[in-house]
Structures are given as C-alpha cells and as structure tokens.
Amino acid sequence: MGRGPLIVKLVVLGCAFLWTGLATAQEKSVTEEILDILRSKGQISEEKYEELLKKAEGEKEPSTFRVYWKEGIRLDSHDGRFKLKFTGRIMNDWAVFSEDSDTEAFFNEDFGSGTEFRRARLGLGGTIYDVVDFKAEYDFAGGDADFKDVYVGLRKLPVVGHIKVGHIKEPFSLEDQTSSKYITFMERALPTVFAPERNTGVLLHNIELDGRLYWGVGGFRETDDFGEGFGEEDEYNITARVTGLPWYEQEGGRLLHLGVSYSHKFGDGEDGAMVRFRQRPEAHLSPVRFVDTTDISTDGVDLVAPEAALVFGPFSAQGEYFHASVDRANGSDVDFDGFYLFVSYFLTGEHRSYSKTKGAFDRVKPKKNFGLGKERGWGAWEIAARYSNLDLTDGSISGGELHDFTLGVNWYLYPNARIMGNYVFADLDDVGETSIFQIRFQVDW
C-alpha cells in the first residue's frame, strides 16, 4: 500500500473519530436530564443547578470528550488525562521575479512568475494518559505525504522533563524553531540553511527558572522526508540549544531573549559522508539556488549559532549569526558563515507572542479581528525589514556570497489567518541582482 492512500485513510478515520467525539460530547447523562427537568419545573435554583451539573460532568466516564475550538479543533476528556488536537496549515504563494541580464545569463534561466502551495499539512497530536505525547503531521505540498513532526514521547519526567523519539526538528536556531505559521517573513533568513532541520532521533528538553530558561539536547540520524536513513556512513548529529529571558515583563510584551545553538555532524569522508550547503534567495519559488558549495567529503562539521531578540511593545528586533566549520576529508578545512537582522513594528499596537516552553515566538493575536458588520475591525498590521547575508566561499570552495534585503507587510485578519507580502532584493556577488515580489495567503489550525 502506498503512503498516499494510507494517509487518506488516516485522515478519514480522524474525521470519523471527531464526529464520534462530537456526538458523544453532546449526549447528556440521565443525571443531567433529571437536573434539566427539575430546573424547568422551578424545583431547584439556577445556582444549585450549575453546582450539581458540574458534579455530574465530573462523574462522566473518561472516554467522553469535550470538543471545542482553541486555535484549532481540540478534544479533551473530562478527567483531563486525554487531550487531542487536529492540526493543519495551508499556505498558497505567488511570486514575480525580475532579474538583470547578468543574472539571467549566469544561470541561463528566465525566472518569470508563478504560484505554489508552499505548505499543505494535516496532522493529529496530543497527550494520552497525561503522560504520553504524540504527533503525526504530514505535508502534501510536494505531491506526496512527507513526514514533518512524527513522534512519540513522555512528559513531566524527573530531571529531564520531556523526551521525544521520532522525526522532529533538531534544537537549533531561534528562526528555525519558530513555526512557519508564526515567522515574520514568508521565508526564513538565508543562513538558516546551516540548521540541521528535521531528522529522526531522541530529544530531551525542559524549562527551568519559571520558564526563564529553556534547554534542549538530542542525538539524531540524518534521514529522508519519510524519516528513513540506513547505511554504513556515520551520518549522525548531536545538537543542543539553550535560551534565556534575562528580561520578561507584561506577559511577554517586553522581553529580551538570548540563546546559543551547537551541532556536531559526525562523518567519515573515506566512507562517503558528504555535506552540501545551498540556498535560494528568500523566495521558495526561485527555480535555482543562488549559492551552492556542491558536495564536500567530510570527517565532521561543527555548527554554532548565537541568537538574540528584543520585544518592546509593538517594536521587535531579532538577529542570529551562523558559523559552519567543515573538516574536509581531502584538502584543507573550510569555514562558512552568515547572519541576519530584522526589525518589525505593529501599526495596530499588538506585540509578537513568545512561548516559554519552546524558547521561540508564537501566534500573534489581533486586538480586534477583521469584520465589516457590528464587530467592525481591521485585524493586526505589521511592517518589517530584514537584511540577510550568506557566504559559502572559502579556500578552494567557491559557493558564492548572497545578500538579501527584504521588506514585509503582514495582515493578521484573525489569529489563524493572515496575508503576507514581501519584496526581496537579492544581490549575488560578482553576478547580478534580482527583485522578487511575492504574496502568501495563509490559514492554519
């Protein structure tokens, strides 16, 4: 059986489960029906009715679920030991490229314009027995059901806190750990190409000091888009990240975030371990990568990335520096690096939301949702500007150096829906310049 039909069946089963949960949640017990009759006849007060109703709900079987909406469709058992959430996101991008003649000649490509579904994901996650965490999320944007977060775990363990096993993001970089649902620009900054991204492994993570300190560390096997990896090459990584909040006020309305990530990639060049860094400008629809080291035979790679972010009401700033040291199997070692810095401002007075449990930014909630009726509002409006640099040239490796200047406008109609517009000016050293206009329509749950 192919992966596509299997995923479809899982989605159908999930919908059936949701329908069953809805039906179950709406059924009333005999006790509740008796209370309704007593209240309708005026034999008990409204206050007494509410008191007894709460007791009746507490006596229900744990298998009955309450279905509700909280930034997504959620199902919670009445005893709180089982919590499920259906997840998904749709991101439809459109872009127009305008490159100069030198860039067109260099790549032998007329970029043009187009559209794509950048992400189209469905998933189910949650907690069972108040101890076991799980998530199964798949992305259909590429034409098949690629794994994203697919893991099982245990929570609230002594000392280590939480443990996850499966296909998950390695704990590296603030920009990379912030979900694509919440990033400020349509694409992450250029140097995040160094981030190990998702692989299959074991992750330990926890928060300390009342959420002021986050740490995560894990060991991972490099895998494909379905979480599979096998072979004689020692393609394993050890990755860790620690972040802190030296300043945190007004429930995240004012904060200073500092952190650092480190990752070591093991390798044996003689056995074929390879590393390759390549990157598009900050527009996924680009038909070519502007910078590319090509394959490098390596005995190991060390990655380090310090990070910082400031939120001061509607104003925020964020930046990171990335450095990659490649221990070449043949030839002298090489070093690549990059950095980015951006600022943003909410014209409508909101601020970026921060998650202490992740050490990363979270969902923006407009002060007033978009509406044209009685609940008239215009959502939240944010403007932003970013500079990114990525240098993949050192020694005998001439991967190129790319500079991106990006301007962005974000319209958050609701907490779960936004429209993003970006203008990207990409300057490729010794080649030429490209202007990119792009827009995204996004909804997530």
Res. 80 pLDDT band, cuts 50 70 90: confident
Q: HSE on the CB side for 52, CA within 13 Å?
A: 16
pTM of the entire predicted model? 0.84
Residue 156 lies in a domain: no
Is residue 234 one of the residues assigned to a domain?
yes
**Residue predicted with more confidence, 249 or 57:** 249
The yes-or-no verdict on residue 12 having pLDDT over 50 is no
pLDDT score for 82: 93
Q: What tens digit of pLDDT does each residue of 150-205 get? A: 999 999 899 899 999 999 999 999 999 999 999 999 999 999 999 999 999 999 99
Token pair 């965490």 is found at 133
Is residue 369 one of the residues assigned to a domain? Answer: yes
* Range of the structural domain that residue 246 is part of: 90-117+171-444
- Tell me, yes or no, whether 72 lies in a domain: no
Mean per-residue pLDDT for 74-88?
92
- Beta-carbon contacts of 31 under 8 Å, excluding residues fewer than 6 positions away, are 56, 59
Residue 165: inside a domain, yes or no?
Answer: no
Tell me how many domains the chain contains. Answer: 1
Residue type, 35: L
Residue environment code for 124-141, b if the CB has 16+ CB neighbours within 10 A, otherwise e: bbbbeeeeebbbbbbbbb
pLDDT tops 70 at residue 270: no
Residue 42 maps to a domain: no
Residue 348 to residues 342, 371, 378, Cα–Cα distance (Å): 19, 15, 9
User: Which pLDDT value is given to residue 19?
Assistant: 44
Q: What is the model's pLDDT at position 24?
A: 43
Q: Is the pLDDT of residue 394 over 70?
A: yes
Over residues 73-77, the mean pLDDT reads 92
Q: Which residue has the higher pLDDT, 321 or 7?
A: 321
Give the Cα separation of 407 and 384 in Å (integer): 6
Question: Does 75 fall in a domain?
Answer: no
Can you spell out the DSSP letters for 193-239? GGS--EEEEEEEEEEETTTTEEEEEEEEE---TTS---SSS--EEEE
pLDDT at 47 over 90: no
Do residues 216 and 204 touch, judged by C-beta distance below 8 A? yes
Write 111-117 long-range contacts (CB < 8 A, 24+).
111/286, 111/287, 111/434, 114/285, 115/285, 116/92, 116/141, 116/284, 116/285, 117/90, 117/91, 117/92, 117/93, 117/141
CATH of the domain at 411: 2.40.160.10
Residues in a beta bridge with 65: 77
